[in-house]
Structure 1
Protein backbone atom coordinates (compact mmCIF):
# COMPACT_ATOMS: atom_id res chain seq x y z
CA UNK A 1 0.00 0.00 0.00
CA UNK A 2 2.81 2.40 0.92
CA UNK A 3 4.63 1.71 -2.34
CA UNK A 4 1.45 2.36 -4.36
CA UNK A 5 0.94 5.72 -2.68
CA UNK A 6 4.53 6.75 -3.37
CA UNK A 7 4.10 5.84 -7.03
CA UNK A 8 0.94 7.97 -7.15
CA UNK A 9 2.91 10.92 -5.81
CA UNK A 10 5.49 10.52 -8.57
CA UNK A 11 2.76 10.25 -11.19
CA UNK A 12 1.03 13.37 -9.86
CA UNK A 13 4.26 15.34 -9.97
CA UNK A 14 4.76 14.35 -13.60
CA UNK A 15 1.10 15.15 -14.36
CA UNK A 16 1.52 18.64 -12.94
CA UNK A 17 4.50 19.22 -15.19
CA UNK A 18 2.62 17.93 -18.24
CA UNK A 19 -0.40 20.08 -17.36
CA UNK A 20 1.78 23.18 -17.29
CA UNK A 21 3.20 22.31 -20.71
CA UNK A 22 -0.30 21.79 -22.18
CA UNK A 23 -1.46 25.06 -20.67
CA UNK A 24 1.43 26.97 -22.28
CA UNK A 25 0.78 25.31 -25.66
CA UNK A 26 -2.94 26.09 -25.61
CA UNK A 27 -2.36 29.67 -24.54
CA UNK A 28 0.09 30.05 -27.38
CA UNK A 29 -2.44 28.60 -29.79
CA UNK A 30 -5.14 30.95 -28.53
CA UNK A 31 -2.99 34.05 -28.86
CA UNK A 32 -1.36 32.98 -32.13
CA UNK A 33 -3.79 31.00 -34.27
CA UNK A 34 -7.10 32.46 -33.13
CA UNK A 35 -5.97 36.06 -33.23
CA UNK A 36 -5.95 35.90 -37.01
CA UNK A 37 -9.68 35.04 -37.20
CA UNK A 38 -11.12 36.55 -34.00
CA UNK A 39 -10.97 40.01 -32.63
CA UNK A 40 -8.77 40.92 -29.69
CA UNK A 41 -11.80 41.11 -27.37
CA UNK A 42 -12.93 37.56 -28.17
CA UNK A 43 -9.39 36.18 -27.77
CA UNK A 44 -8.99 37.88 -24.39
CA UNK A 45 -12.34 36.48 -23.23
CA UNK A 46 -11.27 32.97 -24.25
CA UNK A 47 -7.97 33.39 -22.44
CA UNK A 48 -9.75 34.40 -19.21
CA UNK A 49 -12.11 31.42 -19.45
CA UNK A 50 -9.20 29.08 -20.12
CA UNK A 51 -7.18 30.46 -17.20
CA UNK A 52 -10.15 30.03 -14.87
CA UNK A 53 -10.56 26.43 -16.02
CA UNK A 54 -6.87 25.53 -15.62
CA UNK A 55 -6.71 27.21 -12.19
CA UNK A 56 -9.52 24.95 -11.01
CA UNK A 57 -7.72 21.89 -12.36
CA UNK A 58 -4.42 22.88 -10.74
CA UNK A 59 -6.11 23.54 -7.40
CA UNK A 60 -7.84 20.15 -7.50
CA UNK A 61 -4.58 18.39 -8.33
CA UNK A 62 -2.77 20.19 -5.51
CA UNK A 63 -5.45 19.20 -2.99
CA UNK A 64 -5.37 15.61 -4.23
CA UNK A 65 -1.59 15.48 -3.92
CA UNK A 66 -1.69 16.89 -0.38
CA UNK A 67 -4.33 14.33 0.57
CA UNK A 68 -2.24 11.45 -0.79
CA UNK A 69 0.88 12.78 0.99
CA UNK A 70 -1.05 12.93 4.26
CA UNK A 71 -2.26 9.37 3.80
CA UNK A 72 1.27 8.14 3.13
CA UNK A 73 2.54 9.80 6.31
CA UNK A 74 -0.36 8.41 8.32
CA UNK A 75 0.24 4.92 6.97
CA UNK A 76 3.94 5.12 7.87
CA UNK A 77 3.12 6.39 11.35
CA UNK A 78 0.97 3.35 12.10
CA UNK A 79 3.95 0.98 12.04
CA UNK A 80 5.07 -0.61 15.32
CA UNK A 81 7.93 -2.80 16.57
CA UNK A 82 8.29 -5.23 19.45
CA UNK A 83 11.41 -5.77 21.57
CA UNK A 84 12.33 -7.45 24.87
CA UNK A 85 13.52 -5.40 27.80
CA UNK A 86 15.81 -7.84 29.62
CA UNK A 87 16.08 -7.53 33.39
CA UNK A 88 12.88 -5.50 33.88
CA UNK A 89 9.24 -6.32 34.66
CA UNK A 90 7.91 -3.19 32.96
CA UNK A 91 8.33 -1.23 29.72
CA UNK A 92 9.50 2.39 29.30
CA UNK A 93 6.79 5.05 29.44
CA UNK A 94 6.72 5.40 25.63
CA UNK A 95 5.94 1.69 25.06
CA UNK A 96 3.02 -0.64 25.75
CA UNK A 97 3.57 -3.77 27.83
CA UNK A 98 2.70 -6.89 25.83
CA UNK A 99 3.54 -9.17 28.76
CA UNK A 100 5.90 -9.45 31.72
CA UNK A 101 7.69 -12.75 32.17
CA UNK A 102 10.61 -14.87 33.28
CA UNK A 103 13.93 -14.99 31.46
CA UNK A 104 14.89 -18.55 30.59
CA UNK A 105 17.17 -20.56 28.37
CA UNK A 106 19.48 -23.56 28.17
CA UNK A 107 21.77 -24.70 30.99
CA UNK A 108 25.24 -23.18 30.88
CA UNK A 109 26.89 -26.63 30.89
CA UNK A 110 24.96 -28.24 28.03
CA UNK A 111 26.83 -28.69 24.76
CA UNK A 112 23.58 -28.85 22.82
CA UNK A 113 22.25 -25.64 24.34
CA UNK A 114 20.16 -23.15 22.41
CA UNK A 115 22.04 -19.86 22.36
CA UNK A 116 19.29 -17.27 22.66
CA UNK A 117 17.46 -16.37 25.89
CA UNK A 118 13.67 -16.59 26.06
CA UNK A 119 11.15 -14.27 27.68
CA UNK A 120 8.71 -16.84 29.05
CA UNK A 121 5.18 -15.61 29.88
CA UNK A 122 3.75 -15.95 33.38
CA UNK A 123 0.66 -17.76 32.07
CA UNK A 124 1.92 -20.63 29.89
CA UNK A 125 -0.43 -22.73 27.77
CA UNK A 126 0.01 -26.41 26.88
CA UNK A 127 -0.64 -28.66 23.93
CA UNK A 128 -0.19 -32.44 23.97
CA UNK A 129 2.37 -33.53 26.56
CA UNK A 130 3.80 -36.44 28.50
CA UNK A 131 4.76 -35.86 32.12
CA UNK A 132 8.10 -36.74 33.62
CA UNK A 133 11.74 -36.56 32.60
CA UNK A 134 12.79 -38.82 29.71
CA UNK A 135 16.18 -37.42 28.65
CA UNK A 136 15.36 -37.19 24.93
CA UNK A 137 14.53 -33.50 24.87
CA UNK A 138 16.14 -30.10 25.16
CA UNK A 139 15.41 -28.10 28.29
CA UNK A 140 14.52 -24.60 29.41
CA UNK A 141 15.86 -23.34 32.74
CA UNK A 142 15.36 -20.12 34.61
CA UNK A 143 18.04 -17.43 34.39
CA UNK A 144 20.21 -15.85 37.06
CA UNK A 145 22.48 -12.81 37.31
CA UNK A 146 26.14 -13.56 38.06
CA UNK A 147 27.40 -10.14 39.12
CA UNK A 148 29.28 -10.52 42.41
CA UNK A 149 32.51 -9.12 40.94
CA UNK A 150 30.89 -5.84 39.88
CA UNK A 151 30.01 -2.82 41.99
CA UNK A 152 27.00 -0.85 43.23
CA UNK A 153 23.43 -2.06 42.96
CA UNK A 154 24.18 -4.60 40.24
CA UNK A 155 26.52 -6.45 42.62
CA UNK A 156 23.63 -6.95 45.07
CA UNK A 157 21.50 -8.86 42.56
CA UNK A 158 24.01 -11.72 42.23
CA UNK A 159 22.22 -15.11 41.98
CA UNK A 160 18.79 -13.47 41.73
CA UNK A 161 16.43 -14.63 38.99
CA UNK A 162 15.98 -12.47 35.89
CA UNK A 163 12.63 -10.99 34.79
CA UNK A 164 11.83 -9.65 31.33
CA UNK A 165 9.19 -7.57 29.57
CA UNK A 166 8.04 -7.67 25.95
CA UNK A 167 7.30 -4.12 24.80
CA UNK A 168 5.43 -2.62 21.86
CA UNK A 169 6.52 0.82 20.65
CA UNK A 170 4.39 2.61 18.07
CA UNK A 171 5.39 4.78 15.09
CA UNK A 172 8.68 2.92 14.74
CA UNK A 173 9.92 0.61 12.00
CA UNK A 174 13.10 -0.90 13.47
CA UNK A 175 14.72 -1.57 16.85
CA UNK A 176 18.40 -2.36 17.37
CA UNK A 177 20.77 -3.10 20.24
CA UNK A 178 24.03 -1.10 20.07
CA UNK A 179 26.95 -2.48 22.13
CA UNK A 180 29.36 -0.14 23.88
CA UNK A 181 26.81 2.70 23.81
CA UNK A 182 24.50 4.09 26.50
CA UNK A 183 23.06 6.71 24.16
CA UNK A 184 21.67 6.31 20.64
CA UNK A 185 23.17 7.53 17.41
CA UNK A 186 21.62 10.57 15.74
CA UNK A 187 18.13 9.91 14.43
CA UNK A 188 17.45 7.03 16.85
CA UNK A 189 15.28 7.01 19.99
CA UNK A 190 16.48 5.39 23.23
CA UNK A 191 14.25 2.61 24.57
CA UNK A 192 16.55 1.59 27.43
CA UNK A 193 20.25 1.27 28.20
CA UNK A 194 22.14 -1.17 30.35
CA UNK A 195 25.09 -3.55 30.53
CA UNK A 196 26.13 -6.14 27.98
CA UNK A 197 25.92 -9.68 29.40
CA UNK A 198 26.46 -13.24 28.16
CA UNK A 199 27.47 -16.67 29.46
CA UNK A 200 30.87 -17.29 31.06
CA UNK A 201 33.61 -17.80 28.49
CA UNK A 202 34.58 -21.23 29.93
CA UNK A 203 31.08 -22.72 29.83
CA UNK A 204 30.06 -25.42 27.38
CA UNK A 205 26.90 -23.68 26.17
CA UNK A 206 27.01 -21.02 23.49
CA UNK A 207 25.24 -17.76 24.32
CA UNK A 208 24.30 -14.46 22.74
CA UNK A 209 25.19 -10.98 23.92
CA UNK A 210 22.15 -9.59 25.72
CA UNK A 211 21.46 -6.03 26.89
CA UNK A 212 20.37 -6.19 30.55
CA UNK A 213 18.73 -3.02 31.88
CA UNK A 214 21.05 -0.68 33.80
CA UNK A 215 18.89 -0.94 36.95
CA UNK A 216 17.63 -4.51 36.75
CA UNK A 217 14.68 -5.95 38.65
CA UNK A 218 14.65 -9.36 40.31
CA UNK A 219 11.98 -12.03 40.70
CA UNK A 220 10.48 -12.61 44.14
CA UNK A 221 11.91 -15.60 45.95
CA UNK A 222 14.70 -16.16 43.43
CA UNK A 223 17.82 -15.23 45.39
CA UNK A 224 19.21 -18.77 45.80
CA UNK A 225 21.81 -19.99 43.32
CA UNK A 226 20.26 -22.66 41.10
CA UNK A 227 22.26 -21.79 37.97
CA UNK A 228 20.60 -22.79 34.68
CA UNK A 229 20.79 -19.90 32.18
CA UNK A 230 23.35 -17.45 33.56
CA UNK A 231 24.30 -13.87 32.72
CA UNK A 232 27.80 -12.51 33.31
CA UNK A 233 29.05 -9.01 32.56
CA UNK A 234 31.19 -8.61 29.43
CA UNK A 235 34.65 -6.98 29.56
CA UNK A 236 36.81 -5.59 26.78
CA UNK A 237 40.11 -7.37 26.05
CA UNK A 238 42.73 -5.57 24.00
CA UNK A 239 44.54 -7.15 21.07
CA UNK A 240 42.46 -7.49 17.95
CA UNK A 241 40.06 -5.15 19.73
CA UNK A 242 41.54 -1.67 19.37
CA UNK A 243 42.65 0.02 22.61
CA UNK A 244 42.11 2.92 22.59
CA UNK A 245 39.25 3.63 22.13
CA UNK A 246 38.43 0.51 24.19
CA UNK A 247 40.03 -0.06 27.60
CA UNK A 248 41.26 -3.42 28.89
CA UNK A 249 39.02 -4.90 31.59
CA UNK A 250 36.20 -2.36 31.44
CA UNK A 251 32.64 -3.67 31.45
CA UNK A 252 30.70 -2.84 28.31
CA UNK A 253 27.40 -0.98 28.27
CA UNK A 254 24.65 -1.22 25.68
CA UNK A 255 21.65 0.70 24.36
CA UNK A 256 18.45 -0.50 22.73
CA UNK A 257 17.24 2.10 20.23
CA UNK A 258 14.34 2.45 17.81
CA UNK A 259 13.87 4.44 14.61
CA UNK A 260 10.88 5.65 12.60
Structure 2
Protein backbone atom coordinates (compact mmCIF):
# COMPACT_ATOMS: atom_id res chain seq x y z
CA UNK A 1 0.00 0.00 0.00
CA UNK A 2 2.85 2.38 0.86
CA UNK A 3 4.55 1.43 -2.38
CA UNK A 4 1.47 2.33 -4.37
CA UNK A 5 1.17 5.67 -2.60
CA UNK A 6 4.82 6.55 -3.33
CA UNK A 7 4.46 5.47 -6.94
CA UNK A 8 1.43 7.73 -7.36
CA UNK A 9 3.19 10.71 -5.80
CA UNK A 10 6.20 10.19 -8.04
CA UNK A 11 4.05 9.97 -11.15
CA UNK A 12 2.23 13.14 -10.17
CA UNK A 13 5.45 15.03 -9.53
CA UNK A 14 6.91 13.81 -12.80
CA UNK A 15 3.78 14.89 -14.68
CA UNK A 16 3.89 18.37 -13.15
CA UNK A 17 7.56 18.70 -14.06
CA UNK A 18 6.86 17.68 -17.66
CA UNK A 19 3.97 20.14 -17.92
CA UNK A 20 6.11 22.96 -16.56
CA UNK A 21 8.93 22.03 -18.94
CA UNK A 22 6.51 22.04 -21.85
CA UNK A 23 5.14 25.42 -20.72
CA UNK A 24 8.62 26.92 -20.59
CA UNK A 25 9.48 25.47 -23.99
CA UNK A 26 6.26 26.81 -25.53
CA UNK A 27 6.89 30.28 -24.05
CA UNK A 28 10.43 30.27 -25.41
CA UNK A 29 9.12 29.25 -28.84
CA UNK A 30 6.43 31.96 -28.70
CA UNK A 31 9.06 34.59 -27.83
CA UNK A 32 11.15 33.52 -30.83
CA UNK A 33 8.13 33.71 -33.15
CA UNK A 34 7.12 37.12 -31.79
CA UNK A 35 10.64 38.50 -32.23
CA UNK A 36 10.80 37.10 -35.77
CA UNK A 37 7.46 38.72 -36.65
CA UNK A 38 8.63 42.03 -35.19
CA UNK A 39 11.78 41.98 -37.31
CA UNK A 40 9.71 41.00 -40.37
CA UNK A 41 7.32 43.94 -39.86
CA UNK A 42 10.23 46.33 -39.42
CA UNK A 43 11.88 45.08 -42.62
CA UNK A 44 8.62 45.37 -44.58
CA UNK A 45 8.02 48.92 -43.32
CA UNK A 46 11.61 49.91 -44.11
CA UNK A 47 11.25 48.52 -47.64
CA UNK A 48 7.97 50.40 -48.18
CA UNK A 49 9.47 53.66 -46.90
CA UNK A 50 12.52 53.22 -49.10
CA UNK A 51 10.37 52.67 -52.19
CA UNK A 52 8.16 55.64 -51.34
CA UNK A 53 11.25 57.77 -50.83
CA UNK A 54 12.70 56.70 -54.18
CA UNK A 55 9.37 57.28 -55.90
CA UNK A 56 9.07 60.73 -54.36
CA UNK A 57 12.65 61.57 -55.25
CA UNK A 58 12.12 60.50 -58.87
CA UNK A 59 9.00 62.62 -59.46
CA UNK A 60 9.79 65.07 -62.23
CA UNK A 61 7.79 67.30 -64.52
CA UNK A 62 8.65 68.75 -67.91
CA UNK A 63 7.01 71.85 -69.36
CA UNK A 64 7.58 74.38 -72.13
CA UNK A 65 8.34 77.99 -71.27
CA UNK A 66 6.91 79.82 -74.27
CA UNK A 67 8.63 83.04 -75.32
CA UNK A 68 11.88 82.44 -73.40
CA UNK A 69 15.28 80.95 -74.23
CA UNK A 70 15.97 79.92 -70.64
CA UNK A 71 14.24 78.18 -67.72
CA UNK A 72 13.49 79.63 -64.27
CA UNK A 73 16.20 79.22 -61.64
CA UNK A 74 14.48 76.22 -60.04
CA UNK A 75 14.39 74.29 -63.32
CA UNK A 76 16.95 72.54 -65.51
CA UNK A 77 17.13 73.48 -69.20
CA UNK A 78 16.65 70.45 -71.45
CA UNK A 79 16.98 72.54 -74.60
CA UNK A 80 16.36 76.02 -75.93
CA UNK A 81 14.51 76.10 -79.21
CA UNK A 82 12.26 77.79 -81.75
CA UNK A 83 8.47 77.93 -81.59
CA UNK A 84 6.92 76.37 -84.67
CA UNK A 85 3.42 75.63 -85.88
CA UNK A 86 1.00 75.69 -88.77
CA UNK A 87 0.49 78.76 -90.96
CA UNK A 88 -2.26 81.08 -89.78
CA UNK A 89 -4.00 80.96 -93.18
CA UNK A 90 -4.16 77.16 -93.60
CA UNK A 91 -7.60 75.68 -93.02
CA UNK A 92 -6.24 72.22 -92.26
CA UNK A 93 -3.70 73.54 -89.78
CA UNK A 94 -2.53 71.71 -86.68
CA UNK A 95 -3.72 73.56 -83.57
CA UNK A 96 -0.88 73.32 -81.05
CA UNK A 97 2.47 75.10 -81.27
CA UNK A 98 5.71 73.11 -81.03
CA UNK A 99 8.96 73.82 -79.22
CA UNK A 100 11.41 72.75 -81.91
CA UNK A 101 15.03 71.94 -80.97
CA UNK A 102 17.96 73.77 -82.53
CA UNK A 103 19.64 70.48 -83.51
CA UNK A 104 17.07 68.53 -85.58
CA UNK A 105 17.76 65.02 -86.77
CA UNK A 106 16.42 63.56 -90.00
CA UNK A 107 15.23 60.18 -91.19
CA UNK A 108 14.47 59.10 -94.73
CA UNK A 109 13.16 62.03 -96.73
CA UNK A 110 12.46 63.44 -100.18
CA UNK A 111 13.93 66.85 -101.00
CA UNK A 112 11.63 69.61 -102.17
CA UNK A 113 8.16 70.83 -101.21
CA UNK A 114 5.38 68.26 -101.56
CA UNK A 115 1.80 69.52 -101.71
CA UNK A 116 0.55 66.34 -99.99
CA UNK A 117 2.09 67.14 -96.62
CA UNK A 118 1.43 69.00 -93.40
CA UNK A 119 3.78 71.94 -92.80
CA UNK A 120 5.50 73.55 -89.86
CA UNK A 121 6.52 77.22 -89.89
CA UNK A 122 8.18 79.53 -87.42
CA UNK A 123 6.20 81.76 -85.07
CA UNK A 124 5.93 85.53 -84.62
CA UNK A 125 4.61 87.91 -82.00
CA UNK A 126 1.73 90.10 -83.25
CA UNK A 127 1.82 92.78 -80.55
CA UNK A 128 1.84 96.15 -82.29
CA UNK A 129 -1.49 97.30 -80.78
CA UNK A 130 -0.49 96.73 -77.16
CA UNK A 131 1.55 98.91 -74.78
CA UNK A 132 4.97 100.04 -76.00
CA UNK A 133 6.94 97.43 -74.04
CA UNK A 134 5.25 94.67 -76.02
CA UNK A 135 4.77 96.56 -79.27
CA UNK A 136 8.54 96.44 -79.68
CA UNK A 137 8.35 92.65 -80.02
CA UNK A 138 6.00 92.88 -83.00
CA UNK A 139 6.92 90.48 -85.84
CA UNK A 140 9.93 89.11 -83.97
CA UNK A 141 10.36 85.34 -84.03
CA UNK A 142 9.47 83.44 -80.87
CA UNK A 143 11.84 81.23 -78.83
CA UNK A 144 10.98 78.55 -76.29
CA UNK A 145 12.66 76.49 -73.59
CA UNK A 146 11.94 72.94 -72.45
CA UNK A 147 12.34 72.80 -68.67
CA UNK A 148 12.72 69.98 -66.13
CA UNK A 149 11.76 70.38 -62.46
CA UNK A 150 12.53 67.76 -59.80
CA UNK A 151 10.27 66.75 -56.92
CA UNK A 152 7.05 67.82 -58.60
CA UNK A 153 4.10 65.70 -59.68
CA UNK A 154 2.00 68.07 -61.79
CA UNK A 155 2.27 71.31 -63.74
CA UNK A 156 -0.71 73.46 -64.72
CA UNK A 157 -1.40 76.67 -66.64
CA UNK A 158 -3.93 78.89 -64.89
CA UNK A 159 -5.55 81.44 -67.24
CA UNK A 160 -6.59 84.86 -65.95
CA UNK A 161 -4.23 84.55 -62.98
CA UNK A 162 -1.01 86.36 -62.10
CA UNK A 163 -0.30 84.31 -58.98
CA UNK A 164 -0.47 80.61 -58.15
CA UNK A 165 -3.13 79.28 -55.82
CA UNK A 166 -2.14 78.25 -52.30
CA UNK A 167 -0.03 75.09 -52.26
CA UNK A 168 1.28 75.61 -55.81
CA UNK A 169 4.77 76.74 -56.83
CA UNK A 170 5.39 79.47 -59.40
CA UNK A 171 7.18 78.46 -62.62
CA UNK A 172 6.54 81.58 -64.69
CA UNK A 173 4.03 84.38 -65.27
CA UNK A 174 2.78 85.46 -68.66
CA UNK A 175 0.07 86.71 -70.98
CA UNK A 176 -2.47 84.41 -72.57
CA UNK A 177 -1.98 84.40 -76.35
CA UNK A 178 -3.56 82.65 -79.32
CA UNK A 179 -4.25 83.11 -83.04
CA UNK A 180 -6.28 85.99 -84.46
CA UNK A 181 -10.02 85.27 -84.19
CA UNK A 182 -10.71 85.78 -87.91
CA UNK A 183 -7.88 83.70 -89.35
CA UNK A 184 -8.54 80.34 -90.96
CA UNK A 185 -6.24 78.23 -88.80
CA UNK A 186 -7.30 77.03 -85.39
CA UNK A 187 -4.86 77.65 -82.54
CA UNK A 188 -4.60 76.91 -78.83
CA UNK A 189 -4.39 79.28 -75.87
CA UNK A 190 -0.73 79.50 -74.84
CA UNK A 191 0.87 81.14 -71.81
CA UNK A 192 3.71 83.28 -73.21
CA UNK A 193 6.21 84.66 -70.72
CA UNK A 194 5.46 88.25 -69.62
CA UNK A 195 9.12 89.20 -70.24
CA UNK A 196 9.59 87.55 -73.63
CA UNK A 197 12.79 86.98 -75.55
CA UNK A 198 13.21 87.15 -79.31
CA UNK A 199 15.34 85.18 -81.74
CA UNK A 200 18.39 86.90 -83.14
CA UNK A 201 17.90 87.97 -86.76
CA UNK A 202 14.22 87.08 -86.66
CA UNK A 203 12.61 90.52 -87.07
CA UNK A 204 10.77 90.26 -90.37
CA UNK A 205 7.15 89.88 -91.42
CA UNK A 206 7.35 86.26 -92.56
CA UNK A 207 4.23 85.16 -90.65
CA UNK A 208 3.61 81.48 -89.87
CA UNK A 209 2.17 80.62 -86.45
CA UNK A 210 1.08 83.93 -84.93
CA UNK A 211 0.64 84.97 -81.30
CA UNK A 212 -1.96 87.63 -80.44
CA UNK A 213 -3.00 88.80 -76.98
CA UNK A 214 -6.29 87.39 -75.72
CA UNK A 215 -8.90 89.77 -74.32
CA UNK A 216 -12.19 89.14 -72.53
CA UNK A 217 -15.55 89.51 -74.29
CA UNK A 218 -18.60 89.76 -72.08
CA UNK A 219 -21.82 87.88 -72.73
CA UNK A 220 -21.72 84.21 -71.92
CA UNK A 221 -18.45 85.13 -70.17
CA UNK A 222 -19.47 86.62 -66.83
CA UNK A 223 -18.64 90.31 -66.34
CA UNK A 224 -17.83 90.89 -63.56
CA UNK A 225 -15.53 89.34 -62.56
CA UNK A 226 -14.18 89.64 -66.12
CA UNK A 227 -13.95 93.02 -67.86
CA UNK A 228 -14.77 93.68 -71.51
CA UNK A 229 -11.64 94.22 -73.60
CA UNK A 230 -9.04 93.51 -70.90
CA UNK A 231 -6.07 91.33 -71.86
CA UNK A 232 -5.80 88.12 -69.87
CA UNK A 233 -2.79 87.14 -67.83
CA UNK A 234 -1.72 83.56 -67.09
CA UNK A 235 0.57 81.74 -64.72
CA UNK A 236 2.26 78.35 -64.90
CA UNK A 237 2.44 76.56 -61.55
CA UNK A 238 3.69 73.21 -60.27
CA UNK A 239 2.81 71.09 -57.24
CA UNK A 240 4.62 68.39 -55.26
Range into which the TM-score falls when normalised by the shorter chain = 0.7 to 0.9
C-alpha distance after superposition, 1:200-247 (max 9, x if no partner) = 000000000001011000000111111111000000111111111111
Unpaired stretches in structure 1, ≥5 consecutive residues: 1-35
1:120 to 100, 121, 124: 100
1:106 aligns with 2:86: yes
- C-alpha deviation, 1:187, in angstroms: 2.2
Query: SS of 2:156's equivalent?
Result: strand
Alpha-carbon distance in structure 1 between the residues aligned to 2:105 and 2:78: 16
- C-alpha deviation, 1:185, in angstroms: 1.9
Query: SS of 2:38's equivalent?
Result: helix
Alpha-carbon distance in structure 2 between the residues aligned to 1:136 and 1:48: 83
Deviates more, 1:96-105 or 1:176-185: 176-185
Q: Computing the radius of gyration over CA atoms, which structure comes out larger, 1 or 2?
A: 2
1:204 to 175, 181, 184: 184
- C-alpha deviation, 1:169, in angstroms: 1.3
Query: SS of 2:176's equivalent?
Result: strand
Q: How does 1:68-217 map to 2 (within 5 A)?
A: 68-217=48-197
Report the aligned-residue RMSD. 2.5
Query: SS of 1:108's equivalent?
Result: coil
Label 1:156 to 1:53 Cα distance change in 2 as closer, same or farther (>3 A): same
Alpha-carbon distance in structure 2 between the residues aligned to 1:53 and 1:116: 63
C-alpha distance after superposition, 1:14-61 (max 9, x if no partner) = xxxxxxxxxxxxxxxxxxxxxx99999x98998799669746743662
Alpha-carbon distance in structure 1 between the residues aligned to 2:100 and 2:44: 49
Paired residue for 2:7?
A: none
Query: SS of 1:221's equivalent?
Result: coil
Paired residue for 1:5?
A: none
Query: SS of 1:65's equivalent?
Result: helix
Alpha-carbon distance in structure 2 between the residues aligned to 1:38 and 1:238: 94
Unpaired stretches in structure 2, ≥5 consecutive residues: 1-15
Normalised to the residue count of structure 2, the TM-score between the two structures is 0.83
Alpha-carbon distance in structure 1 between the residues aligned to 2:162 and 2:57: 26
Higher helix share: 1
Query: SS of 1:102's equivalent?
Result: strand
Paired residue for 1:25?
A: none
Query: SS of 1:231's equivalent?
Result: strand
